[in-house]
A and B are shown apart, each in its own frame.
Chain A
Amino acid sequence: MPEHYNESKENTMAVSIAIDPITRIEGHLKAKIDVSDGVVQNARLTGGMFRGFETILLGRDPMDAPQIVQRICGVCPVSHALASCAALEDAADFTPPVQARLLRNLMQGANFLQSHILSFYQLSSQDFFQGPSTPPFSPRQKKPDLRLGEAETRMMLDQYLESLDIRALCHEMAAIFGGRMPHVHGIVPGGTTATASAGQIQDFRSRLKKVRAFAEQRYLPLIYMLSEVYDDLAHMGRGWANAMCMGVFPHPDGGEPAFRAGIWAHGRELPFDPDKIVENVRYSWFTAASGGSPFSAPPLVVDLDKRGAYSFSKAARYDGMPMEVGPHARLWIGNPELSPAGRELALRHLGIRARRFRDLGETFVFSIMGRHLARAEETWFVADVMESWLDALKPKERAWEPLPELQNAEGFSLTEAPRGSLMHCLKVENGRLSFYQVLPATLWNASPRDDAGLRGPMEEALVGVSVADESSPVNAGRLIRAFDP
């Protein structure tokens, strides 16, 4: 394929390496990195698959949307179902019952736990240990840069295998109120289909206890330990070092959500304003007219011959800025207290006296290990707050009310999927969907360059990452997986 990208001239001395597929992520991603002096000088990420949900949704019954959009992501279907229901409910000026909000939080929470455990153990953990000499653990890169001794290696394999069962428990929790996972049936416009029996609450609670114990006794200690062993990765991959959270886990009674919305940029905090979001398409395989505000962007038109374009991902920007999203962004903005285990471990392994998340420091948080650690801390935080929602459930309380029929209306929703911010915008005309825009986390973290030429967050974070051996660019993969793209 002809090389159009204009910055390549700057790096004539660099060796260009293509990594495709980036494995152990959800979806199709290619990384092209230019390396010289053992360091990544430039990077571009290619989202290599396109289905076009926004046109698939057009003309459909609005009530079908929450089921269709779940098929965007098999790892985070709950978030898409919730975002779609919330946008429809916004369009109908409808507030779901308190019991429904509790049940939705619990299903979303269960899937956060599922997704985070999957992201670290099944996807990322092999970046740090050598499994048995059989697929899927073998083969692997020639120089995988693994630094654990025999005992720790065995411990990590044990945890990998144990985590498979724990992750399945999280899906079971979501299925108790949602019917099945992946792709829940229980989240519908108007509320939830389940009413939560005392038995179901007990079944949910017993599983939650096991998952929480796993987070406390396995996941957190492991991540803090790895942050010490792989200490160079604890200050590598800084990137734009900014953060966005659209807010998630609304308070059932209307108070502050568990993670509040906010922006962190240029070293200070700003209020979040959805009107400042724009989708750029200069480097995407879509016509120039396809971008714009998510409230009004026209349906995508593919243009695979577009000069300079290199991705099916659009570049979402906030007030012109690429923004990092995900657990580290949510925790940086919300700045909750660390887990009790985490406070001890931070002192032991990192030598940091930390009470709240930001005490870990910007350099550490915006690093490969920092982003992993945020995911582990958030697993504990979500498991903890879920118990209070479980306590607030009233067995057999109705959790659904009919949504007023939508003829001509528009609505939007802001939430967070496990991997980062999620926004849905829709319009209904004559009872049919006439407009649908989905802004998933990938359009932020894994975005290509924007119209101003600014790299996407993961592209920017790749710059400066060390590559000791060009045949085994392990740190590039580590950085990408730490974002859980």
Chain B
Amino acid sequence: MNKDVSSPLRPLGRRNFLRSALLTAALAGVTRTFSPCVSRALAETLTAVRPPVFWLQGMGCTGCSVSILNSLHPRIADVLLQIMRMDFHPTLMADEGEGAMNFMLRSAAENDGAFLLVQEGAVSEEEGGRFCVIGEAGHEEYPLSVTLERLAPHAAAVLAVGSCAAYGGVSAARGAMTGAMGVQDFFHRKGIGTPVINIPGCPPHPDWMVGTMLILLDAVERRGLAEGLREVASTLDAWSRPKAFYGSTTHENCPYLYLFDEGRMAENFPDKAGCRYGLGCKGPTTWCDSPLRRWNDRVNWCVENALCIGCVQPDFPDGQSPFYRKNLR
């Protein structure tokens, strides 16, 4: 192919990366652990060999993939072209069909033990996994469950992005008849010991996904694969979530906390002078940093606009329902 075509990417050199990292560092109030590590990882991935990433889509809505496209610090173009080597991503990759499948299978064999799997959406093994078939190669269908069984034991780690991949989420909600479940539950059943990092949220904030990937790359770069993974594992909570993003409740960082403390509760949606707990807000029992990080270039966030529905929690949606208190007037 024509080499000139790639030249627009070259100006995105070290300086831009550092600037991008500084912008991220400007959010340092968000989490103490996140920003220094990000600037290191960003600088170093420029020279480091990037491990291949296979992003598998299971039983979900593609909302996690759409959400990561909103990454701004660093920009998604930098994430795709310089941070993650996305050897397989069904929504973005140029190739299709058998060519795409074989490229992944070959790359997995060549990088045994050294590639990363990102799983979006839930997995089911009922009916031989036929509730979710992700492709075909050599006249063989690849249900997600079979693909995971084959690839996951050879992966360095698995990032379960979104509440469906982490815990089953809406795909495994009451009434589902597909046997959908999260990655860890599936691994437990199959005796797969590959480490899993959960990045829940429906969808997860782009920073949670990109940030976790950077934390991982940084640790592996500094300490090697085994030690690096151990270091990252030590920063996860009991639900395998990175404490950097899920270490506090929405409630404790909520700008409306004083209203809660004063007992001033909102009576309806337009009433912005009261705490949304009065509407049914799940902030007190939901663990993420949305109030500090905010969403979509920080223009807004869930509780400022309405209320928290607990979408990062392992029991979402059933345990978080009803989302709204009755008798709003």
Contact = CB atoms under 8 A, between A and B. Distances in A.
Nearest to A197: B272
A181 B322 contact: no
Interface stretch (B1-9, B36-44, B185-193): B1-9
Given A28-B133, A165-B75, A50 B94 contact: no
Interface stretch (A84-92, A131-139, A221-229, A369-377): A131-139
Nearest to B132: A49
Contacts of B4: 150, 154
B296 A74 contact: no
A130 interface: yes
A52 B176 contact: yes
A61 interface: yes
Q: Specify the main secondary structure of chain A where it touches its partner.
A: loop
B62 interface: yes
B205 to A, nearest CB: 8
Interface stretch (B18-26, B96-104, B225-233, B247-255): B96-104
Interface string A1-42: 100000000000000001111111111101000000000000
A25 B66 CA distance: 12
B225 to A, nearest CB: 21
B5 A154 contact: yes
B67 interface: yes
A309 to B, nearest CB: 11
Contact of B69 (A49, A64, A77, A168): A168
A186 interface: yes
A164 B77 contact: yes
A22 B100 CA distance: 10
Contact of B91 (A57, A123, A302, A304): A123
Contact of A402 (B58, B268, B311, B321): B268
Contacts of A77: 61, 63
A405 B327 CA distance: 8
Given A30-B133, A64-B323, A122 B302 contact: no
B329 interface: yes
Contacts of A405: 326
Contact of A132 (B9, B135, B136): B9
Contact of B174 (A27, A56, A131, A191): A56
Nearest to B143: A48
A302 B132 CA distance: 13
Interface stretch (B79-87, B216-224, B238-246): B79-87
Interface string A43-74: 00000111110011111110110011011111
Given A71-B63, A157-B8, A193-B306, A180 B75 contact: no
Contact of A137 (B69, B94, B99): B94
A59 B317 CA distance: 13
Contacts of A248: none
A139 B103 contact: yes
A74 B175 contact: no
Nearest to B136: A20
B305 interface: yes
Given A51-B180, A71-B170, A20 B97 contact: yes
A184 to B, nearest CB: 8
A185 B171 CA distance: 19
Given A175-B296, A185-B306, A167 B176 contact: no
A118 B180 CA distance: 28
Interface in B41-90: 57-67, 69-70, 72, 75-77, 80-81, 85-87, 89-90
A23 B194 CA distance: 27
A1 B139 CA distance: 10
A411 interface: no
B324 interface: yes
Interface in B307-326: 307, 309, 311, 317, 321-324, 326
A203 B134 CA distance: 40
A176 B299 contact: yes
B97 A183 contact: no
Interface in A304-351: 304
Contact of B317 (A28, A58, A68, A138): A68
Contacts of A19: 96-98
A10 to B, nearest CB: 22
Contacts of A245: none
Contacts of A30: 133, 136
Given A28-B133, A180-B295, A56 B203 contact: no
Contacts of B272: 195
A60 B99 CA distance: 43
A244 B270 CA distance: 37
Contacts of B99: 139-141
A165 B75 CA distance: 8
Contacts of B321: 60-61, 64
A194 interface: yes
B305 A23 contact: no
Given A48-B133, A73-B62, A136-B80, A23 B178 contact: no
A154 B8 contact: yes
B127 interface: yes
A260 B228 CA distance: 58
B14 interface: no
Given A1-B141, A22-B97, A56-B175, A28 B57 contact: yes
B260 interface: no
A198 interface: no
A398 B270 contact: yes
Contacts of A182: 63, 66-67, 203
Contacts of B61: 70-74, 77
Contact of A23 (B1, B90, B299, B307): B90
B309 A185 contact: yes
Contacts of A60: 321
29 contacts: A19-B96, A20-B141, A26-B62, A49-B58, A50-B131, A51-B170, A52-B176, A61-B321, A61-B322, A63-B324, A74-B64, A77-B63, A130-B5, A132-B81, A133-B1, A138-B94, A139-B103, A154-B5, A157-B5, A164-B76, A168-B76, A168-B297, A172-B299, A175-B295, A178-B300, A180-B305, A188-B324, A302-B127, A304-B130
Given A63-B323, A179-B300, A188-B269, 17 more contacts: A49-B131, A56-B170, A61-B323, A73-B63, A74-B63, A74-B64, A135-B87, A136-B86, A153-B5, A154-B5, A175-B299, A180-B295, A180-B305, A183-B63, A190-B269, A192-B269, A400-B269
